[in-house]
Amino acid sequence: MTWAALEFREPLLLLLGLVAPVVFLLARRAPGRVLFSSFALLPAERRSWRERLAWLPDALLALAFLGLVVALAGPRVGERQSRVQREGIAIMMIVDTSGSMAALDLSTPTRERTRLQAVQDVFERFVLGGAALPGRPNDAVGLVSFAGYADTAAPLTLDHENLVAVARNLELTRLREENFTAIGDALGLAVERLRESPAQSRIAVLLTDGVHNAGVESPAAAAELARSQGVKVYTIGAGTTGIAHMRVPGPRGATLRPVRVEIDEATLRDIAERTGGRYFRADNAEALIDVYAEIDRLERTKITEDRSRQYEELFPAPLLAALLLAACGWLGRGTVLARVP
């Protein structure tokens, strides 16, 4: 126990300790002494040790009173306890892996990378933290990838290290018959995964660089499903529109070729508006980071803190000391240090 942690339940009662000297003086004036008209009538021999300690029982009684005052003031040591409750968010990340995600317009000045690689980089920072993104340590995050078909790459999980590893292993669609964009199916699958989560707040982040042209479910129907389940959807249009360059394999190696690309911004806006989310446009590497940072700011884990304090009561020690001192004082007064009545 440290003295800094000591406190009193009723500190004003300590003022009664000022009465201790009065108790001592009153005890000293109590009856029990023989009165003489003159000190000359007393024997001339030296004072005995009993005479020199005659004040001790009175002092013990005063100290006993002081101990009783301290006990009444309620000395105690407080131990503060805090309980932090974190209400996590369930987040499904929906990433387009169609062939157009091979475009290089989200490269940085120092590194050539495809749109998918750019998304993988920001995805890792969004989940684990880094580059002005704090990470989502308290949130369950899952991943849906899609092209012509939608697939659950990772269910909702708090194992973010493995989740990022799964995201890193995503590959672009190589099959011609699968090189489409099924936005509705991807969103519908994400909503189904989120519906299984007990989290109070559930969101989906849908990133695509194309136009819905495949799948069974329409984007509007998927958006209505999300709205009915209380899932807020943030949509991101990634990359430029018009012409983008990508590397195309050839007999003499990969060469840069211009490819026409198009983003269905109207559909993405409609999905966001139906579900209470927002639509973002990311046409360069910096803008993509800014978009995820904005989503991170809008959707944060709710943290509440309950504080309680438990006390260890220390009054028994001064109370016991007061009783012992009082007993010693009265015992001394009645035995070896007794007064002659």
Q: How confident is the model at residue 21 (pLDDT cuts 50, 70, 90)?
A: confident
C-alpha span between 275 and 163 (Å, rounded): 26
Instruction: Tell whether pTM > 0.75.
Output: no
C-alpha span between 247 and 254 (Å, rounded): 5
251-269 pLDDT per residue, tens: 777 778 888 888 999 999 9
Residue 28 has pLDDT above 80, yes or no: no
Residue 1 has pLDDT above 70, yes or no: no
Please, what is the average pLDDT of the chain? 83
Q: How far is CA 301 from CA 142, 151, 248, 307, in A?
A: 16, 27, 43, 19
Q: How confident is the model at residue 335 (pLDDT cuts 50, 70, 90)?
A: confident
Which H or E element spans position 226?
Answer: helix 219-228
Q: How confident is the model at residue 340 (pLDDT cuts 50, 70, 90)?
A: low
Q: How confident is the model at residue 217 (pLDDT cuts 50, 70, 90)?
A: very high
Does 120 or 301 have the greater pLDDT score? 120
DSSP character at residue 230? T
Q: How confident is the model at residue 9 (pLDDT cuts 50, 70, 90)?
A: confident
- What percentage of the chain exceeds 70 in pLDDT? 82
pLDDT of residue 285: 82
pLDDT of residue 39: 52
pLDDT of residue 318: 83
124-144 pLDDT per residue, tens: 999 998 877 888 888 899 999
Tell me the domains of the chain and their CATH numbers: 3-31+46-81+309-334 (no CATH), 89-300 (3.40.50.410)
Q: How confident is the model at residue 42 (pLDDT cuts 50, 70, 90)?
A: low
Work out the angle between the directed axes of helices 219-228 and 265-275 (0-180°, nearest 10).
Answer: 20
Ranked by mean pLDDT, the top range of 108-117, 146-155, 238-247, 315-324 is 146-155
pLDDT of residue 37: 56
Q: 81's torsion region: left (phi>0), alpha (psi -120 to 50) or beta?
A: beta
Q: How confident is the model at residue 302 (pLDDT cuts 50, 70, 90)?
A: low
For residue 109 the two structure tokens come to 């000045």
CA proximity to 288, closest of 88, 91, 113, 154: 113
